[in-house]
Amino acid sequence: MNQVLLIAIILAAVVGATIVSRHITFIPLPFFLIAAGLILAIIPVYRDFQLNPSTFALAIIAPLLFNEAQNSSRLWIGRSILNIISLAVGLVFVTVLLIGSGLHFLYPILPFSLTFALMAVVTPTDASAVNSIFEANPIAREQMGILKNESLFNDAAGIVLFDVALAAYISGDFSVGEATTLFIWEFLGGIIFGAAMGMLIVSARSVLIRYHDDTPLIMVTIQILTPFLVYLLAEKLEMSGILAVVAAGLAQSSERNKLRLNSSRMQIVTSNVWEIVSGMLTGTVFVLLGLSLPDVVEYMRASTNPDFAIYRLVILGIILYIAQTLVRMVWSHYLIRTNSNHERSWRDSLIMALSGAHGTITLSLAFSMPNFIRHEPFAYRGPLIFIAAVIILVSLITPTILIPIILPTKAEKSPRYRWVKRMIQAAISDLSKEKEHQAEAQIVIDSLQQQLVLDGTPNLRVQRQIMNEAHQVEQKAIRKLHADGKITDDEMTYYLQFLKLNNFSADDKIWKNIMLRIRFGLHIGRLYKNLHQAQEAFLTAPVALEEIYWRDQFEKHGEDILPIEQAGFDAVMEFLKNYDAKNGVEINFVRRFYRTRHRRIHLSRVDPDIIYQMFMRAFHAEYELIQDALVSGQISSELAERLQQRISFDEITYIQNVEVFRE
């Protein structure tokens, strides 16, 4: 139970750090995650928290690489296969051998096998670590594709080299023949076994799809279990479990290409599930780094070995990063070829070098180092993890600073948020022309207007102020009706009571909601002497019940609330029309509240089928705007894809929550 609680807290820290990073965008997310881990390290229960390295590899590395592989494009891999092999295999070997050898001579306390193991750990790249930088400073699509696929395959090469180097250190001797045999068995064996398992699972899933058993529960569960099953079986055969998982993931990507539009609901659900799982696992790795750093630092401070002084390890990590970057830049300049006609510049090579940021896999491998070797504590584990952490941090900080300087920021001619507003406004404009089914069209328009301001954060104080001002405007209009002799004393008194309750429930606070439910429940129970009706009143939202209740009360006294409410509604709408437009988010909330009340109290019977037609008409208007903008060259195909995806998700959301729009 304690382990479950500790893991739950770590996941909560991932969510919290992600929320903060969305509001402080100039700092990369990994830094917030590491900071969250450092904060958790203060909590006493985490002081002895340790994650078994084998469990870490199975639970975190395997599903992360599987998801990365299944999202890879075989087309892009085929187009850039020579570049990928050059970076993911050739550059990895050269970096490990060249810098690993230099590290041993620079820092003799580390044996050759461990310097090679360390370089194998810090060689895998994580292109996603600098994605946020490239959004503002975009690089060529081909370069981005190379970086993404390189980060997948050099993970595998680095992991295999790490296993070989660590095995050499544990055994105490190194044989070229044995190392070569081990490498071939792990590397090729892992790929072949993983590909075979992947194709077998894909075939099984295809059979399920053919017989219409492709429900999300069945298909997503099978896919989530796949990396764990493949990894465990490959490790049992002493092959590379990670490479097997990568190969199985590539087999899964072939299934996605075959399915195309078939089993679309399953594909959407699968994509969403993996996005959440991948985000949580990636965040967990960095939180664990922050959580472990204090213990690693304390361990090294307590060490009597002066070679493990913190300042020495920090300097060493920076030197290793600079050496890696230089090797990568030279390699990229002379041994990477692109399809562009212009000659490759040193600036392009520097961008490729800085894009070799390290992240999840580097940290995962560092943590997978054993705590004990030959029944003795592994004395090098702490320093090696610390050096890896320094390299990760430097590799994230450096491109954050340098890439915006090297690449000028390209402001988008058609920002996505502006086109989202334009397409929603196009739908509203189209529905505003509806004359025959105005009530149904207004329901859809209200929903679209609410969506129009979702990107804005409402100021609750301003929202309450506008609501109170609208309440006073309506009161004034009702008092004027009374002064003009158009309503009686009783009508004004009871309607003002209705407004008082209506304003009380407007902000929809939980405690107010409960109070009103109890009040209406007791009142209806006493009024009708019926427990069932009292129960129904308690379970019905007050904002939906009070309008009907007051209309019935007016009718019982031979009075009509409708013209009174109409006058108050018109006064409020006129008031909101002339309100300061800078408070659009808050005004829209108040306007929607009054429109909903107006519709409910007048009991405009709406046809669910017509509401459905109006929503489809709105979505069609949005699609037409995007299509016309794409044809006329106002937006790129990439932006059009993102906008159309948003429309598709809106359609799915409506269909799944259709009852909400019929209230």
pLDDT tens-digit profile of 70-102? 877 666 676 777 888 888 889 999 999 999 999
Higher pLDDT: 517 or 22? It is: 22
Question: Can you tell me the distance from the alpha carbon of 436 to that of 534, in angstroms, rounded to the nearest whole number?
Answer: 38
Residue 556 reports pLDDT greater than 80: no
Mean of per-residue pLDDT scores for the chain: 79
Higher pLDDT, 606 or 454: 606
What local confidence, expressed as pLDDT, does residue 604 receive? 55
pLDDT at position 95: 93
Most confident option among 171-180, 530-539, 636-645:
636-645
485, containing H or E segment: none
What is d(CA 590, CA 472) in angstroms, rounded to the nearest whole number? 13
From the list 87, 134, 48, 114, the residue with the least C-alpha distance to 409 is 134
Residue 214, C-beta contacts closer than 8 angstroms, at least 6 positions apart: 205, 208, 263, 266
H/E stretch holding 376 reads strand 376-377
637 pLDDT above the threshold of 50: yes
Residue 174 has pLDDT above 80, yes or no: no
Q: Is the pLDDT of residue 659 over 60?
A: no
pLDDT(291) > 70 = yes
pLDDT band at residue 260 under the 50/70/90 scheme: very low
User: Which tops the pLDDT comparison, 282 or 660?
Assistant: 282
Non-local CB neighbours of 380 within 8 Å, separated by 6+ positions:
110, 114
- CB 385, CB 369: distance < 8 Å: yes
- For 461, counting Cβ atoms within 10 Å of its Cβ (0-12 exposed, 13-18 middle, 19+ buried), the class is exposed
Six token digits for residue 477 = 């209009």
Instruction: Flag whether pLDDT at 364 surpasses 50.
Output: yes
**What are 94's two structure tokens?**
């050269």
Length of the chain equals: 663
Query: What does each C-alpha distance from 419 to 457, 626, 644, 663 come to in angstroms?
Result: 19, 8, 11, 30
Give 570 or 538, the one with higher predicted confidence: 570
* Of 51-55, 79-83, 572-576, highest mean pLDDT: 572-576
User: What is the pLDDT confidence band of residue 128, given thresholds at 50, 70 and 90?
Assistant: low
529: left (phi over 0), alpha (psi -120 to 50) or beta: left
Is 430's pLDDT higher than 60?
yes
Q: What angle do CA 440, 441, 442 make, to 5 degrees?
A: 90
Secondary structure of residue 453 in the 3-state scheme:
coil
Q: Distance (Å, rounded) from C-alpha 242 to C-alpha 239? A: 9
Categorize the per-residue pLDDT at 521 as very low, low, confident or very high, splitting at 50, 70 and 90: low
- At 396-411, the pLDDT tens digits run 888 878 877 787 655 4
Residues 376-398 pLDDT 10s: 888 888 889 889 989 988 988 88
Using 50, 70 and 90 to split pLDDT, how confident is the model at 67?
Answer: confident
CB neighbourhood size of 660 (10 A): 10
Q: Give 245-313 as a DSSP string.
A: HHHHHHHHHHHHHHHTTTTHHHHHHHHHHHHHHHHHHHHHHHHHHHHHHHHHHHHHHH---GGG-HHHH
Is residue 506 over pLDDT 90?
no
- Please say whether the beta carbons of 594 and 470 come within 8 A: yes
pLDDT above 50 for 650: yes
Distances (CA, A) of 238 to 187, 260, 614: 11, 36, 60
Whether 96 contacts 119, CB under 8 Å: yes
Q: Are strands 376-377 and 372-373 parallel, antiparallel or unpaired?
A: antiparallel
What pLDDT, on a 0 to 100 scale, did the predictor assign at position 653? Answer: 74
Query: Would you say 426 and 623 are in contact if contact means Cβ atoms under 8 Å apart?
Result: no
What is the rounded average pLDDT of the residues 628-640? 87
**b/e 491-527 (16+ beta carbons within 10 angstroms → b):** bbebbeebbebbbebbeeeeeeeeebbeebbeebbee
pLDDT at residue number 458: 67
pLDDT of residue 103: 93
The C-alpha R_g of the chain, in whole angstroms, comes to: 32
- For position 99, what pLDDT does the model report? 95
